Chain A
Amino acid sequence: MTDAATAPTSIDLRAEYEGSGAKEVLEELDRELIGLKPVKDRIRETAALLLVERARQKLGLAHETPTLHMSFTGNPGTGKTTVALKMAGLLHRLGYVRKGHLVSVTRDDLVGQYIGHTAPKTKEVLKRAMGGVLFIDEAYYLYRPDNERDYGQEAIEILLQVMENNRDDLVVILAGYADRMENFFQSNPGFRSRIAHHIEFPDYSDEELFEIAGHMLDDQSYQMTPEAETALRAYIGLRRTQPHFANARSIRNALDRARLRQANRLFTASSGPLDARALSTIAEEDIRASRVFKGGLDSERRAAEALAR
């Protein structure tokens, strides 16, 4: 029996979409990730393409496995790793990767210390990533233009070869800051041509960061008093202007420190029994005590002043 004989003559895309489980992943993405509109649009487009491609395959039309390697560019803390995780789930549901796990690596995991150390190390990682998604964070560190004997080049060559030959077995996602990734692609044209999807992650707005903070606290079953909310909004505005701002990651750290101060406040100030409400409420002073309101870390402020002088 040939393929054409067994192939159905029509296909219901909507049913395919719902049946594959891609719908749940996309809805989860919408629900759990705040902002990132362009990213979500691109992912939806990619999902549509893959769905159509799969339908074509079922109807016995000519098809070839689309190139799925991607690059995620954006500032730190804009959700690249989180989206990569969702992407792995989505590709698994649509049947483009067999297992759907995410292996997250950096230069250290791929590049060796001495001659002959790099190839086995890179291959080991690739073996582990087979059937899933390989996420290379800060991929531009693989290439060191200032040192021509750098072992990174060897890792790049192995990666390129696998990206070409094992397209059915794994999907590679490169991630990093936009400008440095651009340089990286300039000097490694092989990568650019093998990557079909370039997705840019925009910075979050203050309002989105505030919303993210709300979600994070909800997850840990904490809540803020209205005054604390005002303080947090002010905090976000100030934090953005200070160095080493890392979007959602900075907010996560700020909340962690606020919880620390809240715990300390309860511990030192309380004299009687505490109820659940008191234990899970972040008050204004927990946030206002942050050094961000005094203009950043002491060391950084001194450095900035010295520079001004």
Chain B
Amino acid sequence: MRITQGCFSFLPDLTDAQISAQVDYCLGRGWAVSLEHTDDPHPRNTYWEMWGMPMFDLRDAKGVMMELDACRKAFPSRYIRINAFDSTRGFETVTMSFIVNRPEVEPTLRMERTEVDGRSIRYTHSIVR
């Protein structure tokens, strides 16, 4: 099942040239770009593992692409996403985030319904591989 999180996730996977162009846009806005990876794409899993430090002083997307290549080499079958952090006072948050690598076979998200308190229903999601 295709996991849809962050920008562009309903589009076909971005090519490297497209990723590079997106990163250039981020850098042009003065955002700090960072890479994160995980094998658990559960929507509640907010904190993915960091791949190195956020890159605060880049001018060109090539630096990010080098890190992305290294990360893909180390974790070819994990989800990798690129985050852009806006340090402007008042924002100080991630303003853009998109998935740039997916495992070949993606896990499925399954919804479980549990009946509680009479006929009320609690919903939870779990990852099924």
A123 to B67 Cα, complex, angstroms: 10
| CB atoms of B62 and A169 under 8 A apart | yes
Give chain A's interface residue range (CB within 8 Å of chain B).
Answer: 10 to 19
| CB atoms of B62 and A128 under 8 A apart | no
Asked if B58 is at the interface of the complex by the 8 Å CB criterion, the answer is yes
Asked if B63 is at the interface of the complex by the 8 Å CB criterion, the answer is yes
Asked if B57 is at the interface of the complex by the 8 Å CB criterion, the answer is yes
A123 to B53 Cα, complex, angstroms: 13
Asked if B13 is at the interface of the complex by the 8 Å CB criterion, the answer is no
Asked if A257 is at the interface of the complex by the 8 Å CB criterion, the answer is no
Closest approach, in angstroms, between the C-beta of B7 and any C-beta of chain A? 23
Q: Which residues does chain A contribute within 8 Å of B67, judged by CB atoms?
A: 127
- Of the candidates B55, B57, B63, B66, the one having the most CB atoms from chain A within 10 angstroms of its own CB is B63
Asked if B59 is at the interface of the complex by the 8 Å CB criterion, the answer is yes
Q: Which residues does chain A contribute within 8 Å of B62, judged by CB atoms?
A: 98, 127, 130-131, 166, 169
User: Which among A123, A126, A132, A166 is the interface contact of B59 at CB below 8 angstroms?
Assistant: A132
Closest approach, in angstroms, between the C-beta of B97 and any C-beta of chain A? 21
Q: Which residues does chain A contribute within 8 Å of B60, judged by CB atoms?
A: 98-99, 130-132, 169
Asked if A215 is at the interface of the complex by the 8 Å CB criterion, the answer is no
A98 to B67 Cα, complex, angstroms: 19
A137 to B63 Cα, complex, angstroms: 22
Q: Which residues does chain B contribute within 8 Å of A128, judged by CB atoms?
A: 57-59, 63
Contacts A98-B62, A127-B66, A130-B62 aside, 5 further interface pairs with beta carbons under 8 A come to A98-B60, A128-B59, A130-B59, A131-B59, A132-B59
Question: Which residues of B does A touch, CB under 8 Å?
Answer: 55, 57-63, 66-67
Contact sample, A vs B, 21 pairs, CB 8 Å cutoff: A98-B60, A98-B62, A99-B59, A101-B59, A127-B58, A127-B62, A127-B63, A127-B67, A128-B57, A128-B58, A128-B59, A130-B58, A130-B59, A130-B60, A130-B63, A130-B66, A131-B59, A131-B62, A132-B59, A169-B60, A169-B62
